[in-house]
Amino acid sequence: MSQYTLGFSSMDMQVREGEGGITQVVLDGRFDIAGAQEVDLRFSALAGSAKALVVDMAKVSFLASMGVRTLMLSAKTMMRRSATMAVCAADENVEKVLRSTGFDEIVDLYPDFAAASAALTKPKA
């Protein structure tokens, strides 16, 4: 299967309001400079309003500096609002980027949406 699609620059972002007040963001494409520019504003708006955000990266084939920047800005906004954020289903390379920067210290990574959703809706002890 090809890793890349023609047109390279596009990243699709779908937002779904799920059960338990969880907002699911499904990204599809390359989180490169162009991809980050495409979703930056919507991410920022969500980070300022969502109670709990799960970013589903199953269909993200690439992540680099600008994409990490978008995720970190949202994480910072959400932490300061005492809201929660999680990332799920990142592939091996994407996860390596997140762990290399220490992003996993501030936002928990989960294998899939169900696991992330369950963790975020679990009442805090």
Partner 1 sequence: MNREFSGTIEAAMDAEGWLAAACQELRLPSETAFAISLCVEELFLNAVQHGGASAVTVALNAVADGLCVEFRDDGASFNPIVAPVRRIEQRCDDFEIGGYGTGLLQKFARRMSYRREGGRNLVALEFDAVRASGVLPAT
Question: Are the CB atoms for 110 and 119 separated by under 8 Å?
Answer: yes
Nearer to partner 1, 31 or 113 (CB): 31
- Strand segments, DSSP code E, in 8-89 are 11-17, 22-31, 52-63, 84-88
- Least separation, in Å, of the C-beta of 121 and partner 1? 20
Three-state DSSP state, 118: helix
Nearest CB to partner 1, comparing residues 13 and 79: 79
Q: Which of 43, 35, 40, 42 has its CA nearest to residue 5?
A: 35
CB of 106 or CB of 115, closer to partner 1: 106
- Which residues are near partner 1 by CB under 8 A? 2-4, 8-9, 30, 32-34, 61-66, 68-69, 72-73, 76, 79-80, 92-93, 96-97, 100-103, 105-106
Strand spans (E) along 37-102: 52-63, 84-88
- Decide if 41 contacts 8 (C-beta within 8 A): no
Name the residue nearer to partner 1 (CB basis): 19 or 105. Answer: 105
In the complex, minimum distance from the CB of residue 76 to partner 1, in angstroms, rounded to a whole number? 6
Secondary structure element (H or E) that encloses residue 110, with its range = strand 108-110
Question: Cβ 25 to partner 1, closest distance in Å?
Answer: 19
